[in-house]
Structure 1
Amino acid sequence: MSERVAPAAAEDTHAWQPSDVQRDRDEWRRRRTLRSAVIAAGSTLLLLGAVGGAVFSSPGWDRVQETYFSWDKAVSSFPAVLEGLWLNIRVMAICWVLILVLSLTVAIVRTLRGPVAFPLRLLGTAYVDVFRGLPLLLVIFLLGFGGPALRLQGLPTSPLFWGCSALVLSYSAYVAEVFRAGIESVHPSQRLAGRSLGLSYGQTLRHVVLPQAWRRVIPPLMNDLVSLQKDSGLIAVLGVTDAIRKAQIETALDFNYTPYVVAGVLFCCLTIPMARLTDRYARKKGYHGAGGVL
């Protein structure tokens, strides 16, 4: 038994150990990290203290606190605003699926080759140029008020439908360019390799080009999703009772604007985690430089 244990003990004595130089480097890095954290925390507290002191000592702070930061008003309006936020979440989820489908179709159409596909490319280019040139709020007004007036057969006349249509049409123009950039970033040799293996144009696009393009465009797509979460509140201008509209109704009861602050906090609770997740994913994939935590 002792003979069998001896080799293992010998291996333990010869296990790798960091050198003195490596230990010094690790200790220096630890001290530098700790020093950076202390400096960052101190500068942050100093900045927050300066801003807070300027705000809290202002002559109108008491009035602003009563009008915008009333705790009792926040508690009473929270259920209604939260109910409206659920509509924003559903609008965002449904519109995002439709945006992905429409934008990918437009991106593929714009990357078609050959003179036969010229009318399709021209149509896709015109669509992207028009809806990227129009402000989103203007598109919502045009479709929200003009769409129901057309009385198109089979289409609803509700402002929610036309507001969502405006979001889909406007955002698809931007997302289509993201997809097109991802598709064109794939080296042409990948297409040629797929065709040389006997794949058709559609099969090459599906099995070779799009999988590579998708991985490259995920970070900007997630950023567009964050923007859509916020802009879904713009449909409130059509009278849709979302979070912003609910906050407006609660504010009209006593002209206290705290419900707007509640709606803003709830929107931040949606968008900030998604933004941080986007940055973390992009940093993990190497899309960002070696920066700080934020």
Structure 2
Amino acid sequence: MSESTWSPSSIETDRRAFRRSRTVRSAAVSAVSTVVVLGVLGWLITHSAGWPRVQETFFSWDKAVESFPAVLKGLWLNIRLMVVCGLSILVLGLTLAIMRTLRGPIFFPLRLLATVYVDLFRGLPLLLLLLLLGLGVPALRLPNVPTELVFWGAVAIILSYSAYVAEVFRAGIESVHPSQRAASRALGLSNGQTLRHVVLPQAVRRVAPPLMNDFVSLQKDSGLIAVLGAIDAIRAAQIETATDFNYTPYVVAGVLFLCLTIPMARLTDRVARKQGWHGAGGTL
């Protein structure tokens, strides 16, 4: 029978119809249950005794419109910080991972240096690093040393996150089976060529979802630079709040950060599922 005249049997047709009906039924049940749960929660919240005060203090539309331009302007600093720090973290983290996986006694000093670096900056809280570098170093007034708060805030974020990213890269490098290296060496590739053309492409592909999760965290933690006084989204919201003690600008800043992180989180889940991480993101 030719392919153009083929048609599914009645059993297969019934099977497909049953699957479609189950899919439609599941979608309808999910939609109805979601609407019911959200409706009940919304009714309970909006009819509680303290809701008018909460609405006025945290969800004032007029205050949100008034503070939005300042908070959005501050968010631009967060975005620039995320891009610059993200690229620097990838380069430094990969360098540290390669240093930790170098073989042979001659590379022991490099392995030791990378290990000390990772242990040190993974053990120090990011907030403490921000205070030490962002406030401490400019106070020294050293010659030819930058004193900008944003610069030292970015340095603190890079130092902290590169230690975590280095371990992610190292896990990917060590996950490549030793036979891959042996086969590359048998084909005449040098150690450097093996690392560049065989090991690193596989390692980076395997750890792409964890790296993207770290970038999602970086998007949020860039707001910690506000403790140094830099006018980012959080600091701008704090300034707007201080005028009348209405906390709506903080909510505006939170919504803007969500607009950045949620798409990245969904993209991370999609990449993870394509990589075979079937548990990533559940069914969303």
Asked whether the two chains share a fold, i.e. TM above 0.5, the reply is yes
Q: Aligned letter for 1:227?
A: S
Q: Aligned letter for 1:144?
A: G
Which residue number in structure 2 is paired with residue 168 of structure 1?
Answer: 158
How far did 1:239 drift? 0.1
Which residue number in structure 2 is paired with residue 40 of structure 1?
Answer: 30
Residue 254 of structure 1 aligns to a residue whose secondary structure is coil
- Structure 1: distance between partners of 2:212 and 2:71: 25
Matched pairs, number: 284
Q: Which moved more, 1:186-195 or 1:163-172?
A: 186-195
Determine whether 1:203 maps to 2:193: yes
Which of the numbers 100, 107, 110 marks the counterpart of 2:90?
A: 100
Determine whether 1:283 maps to 2:273: yes
Shift in CA distance, 121/196, structure 1 to aligned 2, threshold 3 Å: same
- Structure 2: distance between partners of 1:155 and 1:130: 23
Shift in CA distance, 290/264, structure 1 to aligned 2, threshold 3 Å: closer
**TM-score of the superposition, structure 1-length normalised?**
0.92
Superposed CA deviations along residues 203-227 of structure 1, whole A, max 9, x for unmatched, are 1111111111111111111111111
Residue 288 of structure 1 aligns to a residue whose secondary structure is coil
Q: Aligned letter for 1:143?
A: L
- Structure 1: distance between partners of 2:151 and 2:132: 13
Q: Which moved more, 1:264-273 or 1:128-137?
A: 128-137
- Structure 1: distance between partners of 2:279 and 2:238: 42
Superposed CA deviations along residues 78-111 of structure 1, whole A, max 9, x for unmatched, are 1111000011000000000100010000000000
- Structure 2: distance between partners of 1:193 and 1:157: 51
Which of the numbers 131, 135, 141 marks the counterpart of 2:125?
A: 135
Determine whether 1:293 maps to 2:283: yes
Structure 1 gap ranges (5+): 1-9
Superposed CA deviations along residues 155-174 of structure 1, whole A, max 9, x for unmatched, are 31111111101110110011
CA RMSD of aligned residues (A): 1.7
Q: Aligned letter for 2:54?
A: V
Which residue number in structure 1 is paired with residue 242 of structure 2?
Answer: 252
Q: Aligned letter for 1:282?
A: A
- Structure 2: distance between partners of 1:150 and 1:190: 51
Structure 2 gap ranges (5+): none
**TM-score of the superposition, structure 2-length normalised?**
0.95
Shift in CA distance, 155/291, structure 1 to aligned 2, threshold 3 Å: closer
Determine whether 1:80 maps to 2:99: no
How far did 1:289 drift? 3.9
Which residue number in structure 2 is paired with residue 54 of structure 1?
Answer: 44
How far did 1:123 drift? 1.6
Determine whether 1:267 maps to 2:274: no
- Structure 2: distance between partners of 1:168 and 1:99: 5
8 Å contact kept, 2:206–2:275: no
Residue 278 of structure 1 aligns to a residue whose secondary structure is helix
Which residue number in structure 2 is paired with residue 63 of structure 1?
Answer: 53
Rg (Cα) greater in structure: 1
Identity %: 72
Which of the numbers 205, 220, 231 marks the counterpart of 2:221?
A: 231
How far did 1:11 drift? 5.7
Determine whether 1:110 maps to 2:104: no
Superposed CA deviations along residues 110-169 of structure 1, whole A, max 9, x for unmatched, are 001112222221221121112112221111112112222344443311111111011101
